[in-house]
A and B are shown apart, each in its own frame.
Chain A
Amino acid sequence: MGVISAVGEFLARAVRTLNRAGAVIAGAAMVFMALGVSYEVVSRHFFNAPTKWVFEGGEIALTVSVFLAAGYILERERHVRMDLLTGRLREKVRNTLFLAVYPMGLAFSLLLLSTGYSGVKWSIDLGARTFIMGIPIAIPQAMVPIGGFLLSITFIYRWFQLLAAVRGRDSTAPSEPGQH
């Protein structure tokens, strides 16, 4: 049991670390968007020198900020849900219900991962590049399967947290639906 729980704790820490790293990169992408777009406005209006990279760079940064933060947001249960019915349930019943339905979210996340992997592989095989900056299109596309991976491991992580909460081993497991 000791080994299993140590391995479990290690994996849980790995999930949290990966999600935190994803969120930090997502935040950096957001700062990049703000600075890049502002630079473009100044450069175009005051120096008559529009940039080539901001348009595409902004789109890539958007993809990064959405998909790399997805696991972090799920870990903190901040994805919006309709808790009209579940909000009225006792915590244990609600957690049991979530145990049953989280595999649906996992299924979608795994499909983001697998279809994303196929899509990226196809783009690599074709040698496809972005129109303006000419970087391999597989790089921004890879954010989708990476996001799918982060979501998948976080769904599994949350599922075990909920299981522990239902069994009464860990009453601190976050089970409160974030918003409605």
Chain B
Amino acid sequence: MEQWLVALIMVVGLVTVLATGLPIAFSLGFMSVVLLLLTEGWGGLDAIFYQAYGISTSFVLVAVPLFILMGNLIYHSGVGREIYDLASKWLGWMPGGLATATVGACGIFGAMSGSALAGSATIGVVAIPEMQNKGYRRDLSLGSVAAAGGLAALIPPSVVMILYGDISDNSIGKLFIAGILPGILVIIIFSLYHLWVGLRYPEAAPREPGVPWGDRFRVLGRLWAPVLLITFVIGSIYTGIATPTESAGVGALGAFLILTMKHRGFRPNLVRNSIHDAVMVTGYMLLILVGALTFAYVATLAYIPQSLTAWMVSLPVDRWLILAMVWVFLILMGMFFDGVSLIVLTTPLVYPVIIGLGWDPIWYGVILVLNVEIGAITPPVGLHFYVVKGLTPNTPMIDVIRGCFPYVILFHVAVVIIAVMPWIATWLPSTMMK
């Protein structure tokens, strides 16, 4: 069958099946079956089993359920409230301080859990009422929570980074470490925006009185265990003491200890709920990966990524223009797909182009994850909208979307800065011990 026809059937068929509402994993799986039948005949269908079983030959992927379990245990530990308390006591006095505290708290929570949705939900449940009670404009309070939750995807440990690293065969440890400075950059950009809003429109973000230093340090003292967990998980990867999978295992155990400590004893219900939710999330995530890898395998059989790469590399245009095209493509995909699907669907197609043009794969991983975060707060489908809407049921969805709009622009500013100054993403990994 002609290559262009296979590509056409792939795109049109997949879009059609996805639009019917069939779960993404099965849409990918079904279209792979159709394409295998068309290109390879019945004999080609054996590939489905080998692609499905293929995920079990990747020890790196073991980190996915473990980090998800760690995030769920932390979520159920109730430590989110304390983190927000800490951030608001330290940062609340600044203009726009409570919104900045929300961003800081989401950053810390992301470093402990790796879960963007859990970050928005956990911090948002405390931060939104707090900000609204203190007279913060509604769109600012909603937008800051929805956007800052996404920091978890960038700041290690990040599950989407693991998926990207596994598909593109890049070091997960380097990708994790590469996300630290860009994560801090996003926090700074958001904070500057809040500072500007606080100064320019004081009525939108009323200033809080300062908190005595004694109170600030008291709350700091209560968070030694989570701080230890973050230090261990990130530190052990950076120093090469542990692989990401190992740090995920120990992180999950540490999170269990924190949960037990915070609730002053073993809580079987909370542990069971954490495991249950982790099984659910891991299951759907990795089944999408199975579907996407099978789909990518069919595309590779038809030489589609190879031809696309050869064509794009040969275009008589600057590689920055192609990068801009990739960026637009990611933005469009992010409008319709969740982070996991975005990464597993686009990486097999785009990654060879990026490498062919001589871009750094670790740097591209950071750009990709930033686009995942943008997609999570971009209509028509932004997962974080639903989380924030769930926290404030009486708020119209349009307010949540409006609140996220400035943060979409700020995320794009971060993408531009990292694109122009790639060392922000690549310097720290280059200093790693292993």
Residue numbers of A with Cβ under 8 A of B are 23, 26-27, 30-31, 33-38, 40-41, 45, 55, 58-63, 65-67, 69-70, 72-74, 76, 78-86, 94, 97-98, 100-102, 104-105, 107-109, 111-112, 115-116, 118-119, 140-141, 143-144, 147, 177, 179-180
Contact = CB atoms under 8 A, between A and B. Distances in A.
Contact of A84 (B23, B33, B48, B336): B336
Nearest to A58: B62
Contacts of A62: 55-56, 61-62, 65, 286
B336 A27 contact: no
Q: Which 10 A-B pairs have the closest CB atoms?
A: A37-B249, A86-B21, A79-B23, A108-B29, A63-B56, A105-B26, A115-B49, A69-B283, A34-B252, A104-B30
Interface stretch (B89-97, B104-112, B337-345): B337-345
Given A58-B62, A73-B280, A79-B26, A66 B287 contact: yes
Nearest to A142: B53
A179 B383 contact: yes
23 contacts: A23-B279, A27-B276, A30-B279, A37-B250, A41-B246, A62-B286, A65-B279, A66-B286, A66-B287, A72-B283, A73-B279, A74-B23, A80-B288, A82-B381, A83-B21, A84-B336, A84-B380, A98-B21, A107-B33, A111-B48, A115-B45, A118-B46, A179-B386
Nearest to B271: A31
Given A115-B46, A119-B46, A59 B279 contact: no
- Most chain B CB atoms below 10 A, which of A30, A33, A60, A141: A30
- Report, as a range, how many residues of chain B touch the other chain: 35 or more
Contacts of A79: 23-26, 284, 287
Contacts of B242: 41
Interface stretch (B12-20, B118-126, B207-215): B12-20
Contact of A35 (B18, B253, B383): B253
Contacts of A63: 53, 55-56
Contacts of B50: 119
Contact of A81 (B24, B29, B252): B24
Nearest to B15: A82
B401 interface: no
A180 B381 contact: yes
A82 B249 contact: no
B66 A84 contact: no
**Which of B21, B33, B58, B66 has most A Cβ within 10 Å?**
B21
What is the interface of chain B mostly: helix, strand, loop, or mixed? helix
Interface string B276-319: 10111011101110100000000000000000000000000000
Contact of B23 (A27, A61, A105, A147): A105
Interface of B: 17-27, 29-30, 32-33, 45-46, 48-50, 52-53, 55-59, 61-62, 65-66, 69, 241-242, 245-246, 248-250, 252-253, 256, 275-276, 278-280, 282-284, 286-288, 290, 336-338, 340-341, 380-381, 383, 386
B30 A144 contact: no
B406 to A, nearest CB: 23
B52 A65 contact: no
Contact of A65 (B29, B49, B283): B283
Nearest to B337: A82
A61 B56 CA distance: 8
A79 B55 CA distance: 18
A42 B53 CA distance: 30
A178 B279 CA distance: 15
A154 to B, nearest CB: 11
B30 A36 contact: no
A55 B357 CA distance: 36
B22 A116 contact: no
Contacts of B283: 26, 65-66, 69-70, 72-73, 78
B59 A82 contact: no
A101 B58 contact: no
A30 B17 contact: no
Given A79-B23, A144-B49, A34 B249 contact: yes
B235 to A, nearest CB: 13
A107 B31 CA distance: 11
Among B49, B69, B253, B275, max chain A CB count under 10 A is at B49
Given A59-B59, A85-B21, A108-B33, A41 B46 contact: no
Contacts of A177: 21
**Most chain B CB neighbours (cut-off 10 Å) among A27, A41, A61, A102:** A41
Q: Which of A35, A61, A84 has the most CB of B within 10 A?
A: A84
Given A38-B249, A45-B241, A101 B279 contact: no
